[in-house]
Structure 1
Amino acid sequence: MTAALSIKDMTVTFDGYRALAGVSIDVAPGEAFGIVGESGSGKSTLLRAIAGLNHFDGGSLDVDGRRYTGQRRDPEFYRTVQMVFQDPYGSLHPRQTVDRLLLEPLAIHDFADTEARIARALDEVGLGSGFRFRFSHQLSGGQRQRVAIARALIVEPKVLLLDEPTSALDASIQAEILNLLEQTRRDRNLTFVMVSHDLAVISHMCERLAVMRDGGVVEELSVEDLRQRAIGADYTRQLLTASEGFRREA
């Protein structure tokens, strides 16, 4: 089976600093794959390099069997791969209505029947037609992230990149957004790559994960292995302990 996403020996360098050092990951079609690690480990850099928002200096990127270089100008790539960002307050243009935000990607990719697609996209993320002509500052954080998800889904991608999509939201809203994403993945048979510092979120959403440190992958393991503590790397064990919090001994 051809991988939905295949990365081999990817390197990214900024002003002499190597942010990614030979990362290799394969993600199967329809799989939810997690990437975890502490701040500065290279998680978001990897996601942005996949999305074409950062260049990559070395290695290869294959999406749905097609190879892409560090600079991507092929519109087909951006129909296949879409990204939802961490900050719902910064990722939506403040002077555009929801209608305009959803119409723009449809126009870029020459979609017809835009009216029906916009209505369907809003319905899919749990927002009715009453939200269509609101500005982003008139929406809550959870509503903004729903619009961001609708904008990513409206061009019918095969791969959805998620950069900590709930970390900027209140805890009560996080579960709603995660459940929405999971339902959408099942309905559309999407492939997810999700970055998070929260192992509980990754365990809930993903089937496998890669643990990153200092721009490289420390190890890959299944979520079931994580739950059973079948862990090979000390660093992964330390992350798991930290995620469970401190335990005060009596």
Structure 2
Amino acid sequence: MTANVLSVRDMVVSFDEFLALDHVSIDVAAGESFGIVGESGSGKSTLLRAVAGLNAFSAGTLTINGQSYSGRNRSKDFYRTVQMVFQDPYGSLHPRQTVDRLLLEPLAIHGFDNVDARIMRALDEVGLGSGFRFRYSHQLSGGQRQRVAIARALILEPKVLLLDEPTSALDASIQAEILNLLEQARRDRNLTFVMVSHDLGVISHMCERLAVMKSGKVVETVTADALESHDFAADYTRQLLIASEGFRRA
């Protein structure tokens, strides 16, 4: 049996009087692609951000590779293991830094050597050649910016990649390219994915299992195959499936 690389137990996140996560628990195995779905406000992005240390949690536990973390406290080793790709490729890159600087910064922080070779390899991996290395983000399309964001996440050679709606801000024609790029990286690097999306089609295509969230709670956890064959228990999952028009598993 494959060990869990990520485990969340009874996690609670609140903002003032609003309970955003209400004793949420999930387990993700090493090498697995795990999805989190739910309507807007269900808590799915809050969960991802709490795992990443961007939202503090007031109760519960988070374990990554056997190491426990609390609140917002994260070690440098954590960020070598866990990286995140955000929804907005326009907001996640510093506009006054070149692609080279954006990729160099995490390498410098974590003391990597052979930085030139690592930067070139990262650009090649995401389908951008050396011609993009000294461009600024405003000179790139949305899809190219997201490729840079993925390269920046991968350049530290993490084990877990957190993906918060990584294609929802992109044109439909570009979405499939980015998803295929991510899936190729997962296979090549034996990565573990935790992906948030409102799109059941994307989650079904990318993920083996998924947690369905509503009002800050996990309603149920099902496999993508069970979702496709309508083998699930919660009526809310059925409602999500109906709302996701044109749902197909590629």
What TM-score, normalized by structure 2, do the two folds share?
0.97
Deviation at 1:16, TM superposition (A): 1.9
Question: Is residue 230 from structure 1 mapped to residue 231 from structure 2 by the alignment?
Answer: yes
CA deviation vs aligned residue, 1:124-176 (integer Å, no higher than 9, x gap): 00000000000000000000000000000000000000000000000000000
Query: Could you tell me how far apart the structure 1 residues matched to 2:117 and 2:161 are?
Result: 22
Q: Which residue of 2 aligns with 1:8?
A: 9
Query: Could you tell me how far apart the structure 1 residues matched to 2:70 and 2:219 are?
Result: 25
Q: Which residue of 2 aligns with 1:58?
A: 59
Counterparts of 1:168-207 in structure 2, within 5 Å, are 168-207=169-208
Q: Which residue of 1 aligns with 2:37?
A: 36
Q: Which residue of 1 aligns with 2:19?
A: 18
Query: Could you tell me how far apart the structure 2 residues matched to 1:112 and 1:16 are?
Result: 47
Residues 1:210 and 1:73: Cα distance change in structure 2 (over 3 Å): closer
Contact 1:35 1:212 in 2 (8 A): yes
Query: Could you tell me how far apart the structure 1 residues matched to 2:75 and 2:177 are?
Result: 34
CA deviation vs aligned residue, 1:68-120 (integer Å, no higher than 9, x gap): 11122310001100000000000000000000000000011111111110000
Counterparts of 1:1-250 in structure 2, within 5 Å, are 1-244=2-245
Q: Which residue of 2 aligns with 1:248?
A: none
For residue 11 of structure 1, give the secondary structure of its aligned residue in structure 2. Answer: strand
For residue 122 of structure 1, give the secondary structure of its aligned residue in structure 2. Answer: helix
For residue 184 of structure 2, give the secondary structure of its aligned residue in structure 1. Answer: helix
Letter aligned with residue 228 of structure 2? R
What TM-score, normalized by structure 1, do the two folds share?
0.97
Contact 2:36 2:44 in 1 (8 A): yes
Query: Could you tell me how far apart the structure 2 residues matched to 1:157 and 1:58 are?
Result: 26
Query: Could you tell me how far apart the structure 1 residues matched to 2:98 and 2:198 are?
Result: 32
Contact 1:2 1:65 in 2 (8 A): no
Query: Could you tell me how far apart the structure 1 residues matched to 2:214 and 2:171 are?
Result: 28
Deviation at 1:17, TM superposition (A): 1.1
Query: Could you tell me how far apart the structure 2 residues matched to 1:49 and 1:19 are?
Result: 11
Considering only aligned residues, what root-mean-square deviation do their CA atoms show, in Å?
1.0
Identity of aligned residues (%): 77
Query: Could you tell me how far apart the structure 2 residues matched to 1:73 and 1:202 are?
Result: 28
Query: Could you tell me how far apart the structure 2 residues matched to 1:69 and 1:156 are?
Result: 23
Stretches of 4+ moved more than 6 A in 1? none
Query: Could you tell me how far apart the structure 1 residues matched to 2:210 and 2:116 are?
Result: 38
Letter aligned with residue 127 of structure 1? L
Query: Could you tell me how far apart the structure 2 residues matched to 1:83 and 1:13 are?
Result: 22
For residue 134 of structure 1, give the secondary structure of its aligned residue in structure 2. Answer: coil
Contact 2:123 2:129 in 1 (8 A): yes
Query: Could you tell me how far apart the structure 2 residues matched to 1:140 and 1:104 are?
Result: 22
Query: Could you tell me how far apart the structure 2 residues matched to 1:80 and 1:10 are?
Result: 21
Query: Could you tell me how far apart the structure 2 residues matched to 1:209 and 1:132 are?
Result: 36
For residue 48 of structure 2, give the secondary structure of its aligned residue in structure 1. Answer: helix
Query: Could you tell me how far apart the structure 2 residues matched to 1:73 and 1:211 are?
Result: 27
Query: Could you tell me how far apart the structure 1 residues matched to 2:66 and 2:134 are?
Result: 39
Deviation at 1:244, TM superposition (A): 2.1
Q: Is 65-74 or 207-216 further displaced after alignment? A: 65-74
Contact 2:50 2:72 in 1 (8 A): no
